[in-house]
Every structure is written in structure tokens, then in C-alpha cells.
Structure 1
Amino acid sequence: MNESASHIPTEVYLDFLGQTIPVHWNYHAILMFTVWMVLVPICVLIIRFGKPKPTEFGVTTKISITNVKWWWFNVHKYGLFLATFMALGGAVLALVVSGGFSGSTHSMFGIATIAMGCLQVVSALLRGTHGGKYYKSPDLKDPSQWRGDHYDHTPRRRMFEAYHKTSGYFTIFFAAGAVGSGLMQYSMPVLVKLMFILPFVYLAAWVYLEFLGRRYDGYRAVHGYGMEHPYNKEREFL
């Protein structure tokens, strides 16, 4: 392990413990690297390419963490919830042992990343209702039972998708800046090498899955490819 930069504290006194404890910044680096360079990109890759191939009726069973038909959605949702929780915890600990916000490039990238990550969670909670003509076996003769923000593609759902999808990529950009600047302060050669290697691994996977045509339309995958569905009808000529 390389020696840390001289301005980085190597120990901290905690009043509630009444003692000074050593600070292991390598744990912080490994945690944040794992969260932002491994867990988050994989969750993004899965939601983009893990959706099932569109069928006539889509996915008719209820969204549930135990329902394997929704595995791609659950991995994305709960994986990113976990990632945000872990990153938030790592950031709080870093602020405590550092004695507050340092104002360094790393801290600015880090705070921006955590803030945007938390906003991603908030936006996901505000995405609206699901709905669907065939979702959870509604009465096919009663359209009022089909209503939902996702199925009807309401302005609320449009706002969610416009923000959540776009902001997600920007969050990864800030995360790369945070991890990169952090490793410049506290060098860990293995993580530095992985930071250069992993983007090419993700690029290869992304290109291969695009080549296979695995990027299915989310609306059609979930609700079916029939033109009777509102958002399919809206995009009839697309």
C-alpha cells in the first residue's frame, strides 16, 4: 500500500469513544470504488439490456422482489438503493474523520456524486403508478382498471424518465471524477489499473449486447407490443 498524502489524517479522536483510532482510507477507497465503478455500472447495464423480449401481453405478474420475471428491475432498483446507502455511509464517515468538508477537488466531486445519487433514489420513489391492460389480470372490459402513470405514459412518468435516465449517466460521470481524484490523493495501484480496465470491459459488453439486439423497449417489454396500448399508439410511426 502506498503512503497516503501528508494532508490526509491518519487518525481521529472520537469524543463518544473517548479515544483516538487509526483511519484506514484504503477501506473508504475500496468501498467507493466498488459502489461507483462496479455495482452502479452493472445495475445500469442490467436495466438497459436485461428487459425481456416484448410479447403480446408483456409481463403480467405483480412487481415483487421475489418475482423472477422482474429480476432485471429488482436488481437495478434495489442494487442502486444499496449502492446509494453504502456511498452515503462512506461519505459521512469520511467527513467525520476529516473534520468536515475539505473543499478539495475530490470532496467536490464526491459531494456532487452523493447528492445526485440521492436524487436518483428520490426520483425513483416519485415515478408514479404502474398500471397496464394485462398487468395483474385486470378486467379486460373495464379500461379504468388499466390506468397507471407508466401505462398511460403521463406527464409525471415522462418527467421521471427524462430526469432519471439522463441524470443517471451524469451521476456516473461525477463518480468517475470522485474516484479518480481520490486515487490521485491516496494511490492504490490495483484500483488505478481497474479504473482503466473496467470502462473497456463495460464498453465491450455494451457493444456486444447492442449487436445482439438486447436493448428492448421498456414500455413494450412490460406492457406488450400491441398498438392498443397508449404509448405504443403514440409512437405508431416511430
Structure 2
Amino acid sequence: MLSRKTPTAHFVQLIEEGAALSIPVLYSFRRCPYAMRARSALVASGLVCELREVVLRDKPQALLDASPKATVPVLIEPGGAVIEQSLDIMLWALRQNDPHAWLALDPDGVSAAMDLIAQCDGQFKHHLDRYKYPQRYDDVDGRAHRDDAASWLFQLESQLATTPFLFGDRLTVADAAIAPFVRQFAHTDRDWFESQPWPRLQAWLQRWAQSPLFERIMGKYPPWVAGQAPVLFPG
């Protein structure tokens, strides 16, 4: 379980005293599952960043300058290096500090976790997008893509047969990386999702959605405007 204690108050005090800080900057969007996974790792690591909430239909020029791909999340390290992929942001944070042992798996476990995340980001995300937004893809058959995505969720159900989390008795990087996408799938049609024979998967998702971690990553922030006072995350 993640502690609610953070060093944020200390950083706020430093800002109030006019001290110069050198902390990462994270461009994020609250509901984006990729950004959710990045924020999760930052919370778990205990690192603090400046959060810049983005309005996707009106992206700030600073984000476009940092990352022409113009999608969130994007993290800018204190030295100026840019990390553009959500999983890379997770690994960057956790390799600096991993107090909850999200990466503490044996070599085979790490390989299996990365493979499962790749399946989520590949085949499952492909079908999820077309299920949730069929109008964006020439009005494809959303239900067909729902059923294709569901075949992978049966795999997760099977993996949860003996443990409450994907790789054992505690949450790891795999759970934190995958849960936001399963949540997006579930919310597309909650009644249908809850009617499926996935009791372990449904319990796993509920456990994550009711956790202190989820509460902390889903705080609401106003859109970032250049020149405003830094918004520190976690906060």
C-alpha cells in the first residue's frame, strides 16, 4: 500500500522562500491512460515534478517545442532531456527510487511483465480504440473489436487465478501500467463489462480504482498556462 506522505510540502516551502528548484516537468492529461500510468510511477517513486495539465484541443506551445509528437505524457528532466513514452517515464522514475518494489521481480518475471505491457499497448489498445471510438475509424464494427479485446482480458483473468495482482501478492509495474487501459475498456459499457465471467479481473480493477494510489493520481488540476506558479505533483 502506498503511503500518503509526500515531500511536496517541503518543496512548497522552498518555492515560498524563493529557492531555485530543479525538478522534472510532466505534461499530462488527467483521463489519458498513458498519463495515468506515468503519474502512478511518480507517486510510487516518491519523486516530485512540476505538473502541467494539458487541454488536448489547445496544446501549449511549450509542449509542442519539447515534443513534436504532441501527445501526453511528456517528461522533461532537470537537465533538459525529454522522455516521450509513458513506460519509459515509469522506468525512469522507478529506477531512481522504487520503495514499493514495483520492479523487484526475478528476471523471468520482469520479461513477462514487459511482454504483458507490450500486449496491452499493442493488440489490446488497437481493439480498445476501435471499440470505444468506432467513428474515428470509418465506423468500424465496435462490438467486433470489443470481442477481440475481450479475448485478451480472459488471459488476464487466468493470470489472476492464484494471486490478487498480475505477478503476485502485491502491485507491480505491470498492474500500474495495464489497469488504466482496462478501466477505459470497462467504462465504455460498464453493464456489459460487469456481466462478463471475469470475477478476478473485476476485483483486481476495483481494488486498484479504490486504492490511495488511484485517488492521488486522479486529482483535478486547472489547465497549465505559461508563466503561472508551478503546480507540484504529487500534491
Fold agreement, TM-score > 0.5: no
TM-score, normalised on structure 2? Answer: 0.30
Greater fraction helix: 1
Higher RCO, 1 or 2 (CA under 8 Å, sep at least 6)? 1
The TM-score normalised by the length of structure 1 is 0.29
